[in-house]
Amino acid sequence: MVIIMIIWFVSLIILGIIYSERFINKKYFWICFSIGVFNIILNFAFLIITTKLPKNIPVANVFSIGIVIFFYSLFSFILIVIFYIFKIRLSDFISLNIVLFMIASFILGLLIIIGKIYTQSEVEQTEITKSFFEGLLILIDEIINITDKTDKYIIQKLLQLKDKIRFSDPVSIPIVKELEDQIREKLNILKMECSKTNNSENILREIDSLNNLFDKRNSIIKIHKKR
């Protein structure tokens, strides 16, 4: 899409040099008008496509970039019509377009930098979450190993909890950080219950509590992704 923006800008300049007259003439106007319409249609189609992209992808700011390019193209297109109707100098139109292009390029540069920072942050967060879940799986394995193997029901519940951990959404967001801290704390309490008291009632209560915390966490992340 950035390439389309550059092609559009270069086309205006080159055509302006070819038709180096005082005002925008009919040939220049209709050629630019046709290119402008095609350009706007392509940009708008791109914007529609970006609205269908998942909100959690690393290049989530691509829609913002599309908006900037779309409005640059739209304003340039409107300027052609205005300058042609009111017989304003072609050189003024080119100068104004250069200014618009520079402003749009500056904004695009900022958005790309923000996008890179966001992407790096997402990668780091994914690594942290991956480490968090790996730690939980190690912990639940330790709990299973120290639990009385004769209590088949508790072992079954622990294995189900392990599956819930394994198949939980690996993507984390700040809003569930407190829940994840509670999950880690609850697992440590569960480990202590299994190693010391081995009280079936307490163990089952902690397992149910952990299941509820995981359901709540995963539900929040699912809702967040749909936004």
Express each pLDDT in 149-174 by its tens digit.
778 899 999 999 999 999 888 777 88
Contact 72, 100 (CB under 8 A): yes
- Please, which pLDDT band fits residue 58 given cuts at 50, 70 and 90? very low
**Average pLDDT of span 106-135:** 77
Closest CA to 67 of 49, 44, 91: 44
Q: In the predicted model, what is the mean pLDDT of residues 116-138?
A: 75
Query: Would you call 124 exposed, middle or buried from its count of C-beta atoms within 10 A (0-12, 13-18, 19+)?
Result: exposed
Q: What is d(CA 89, CA 219) in angstroms, rounded to the nearest whole number?
A: 60
pLDDT 10s digits, 137-149: 999 999 999 887 7
Residue 89 pairs in a beta bridge with: 23
Q: How many CB atoms are located within 10 Å of the residue 153 CB?
A: 9
What's the pLDDT band for 47 if we cut at 50, 70, 90?
A: confident
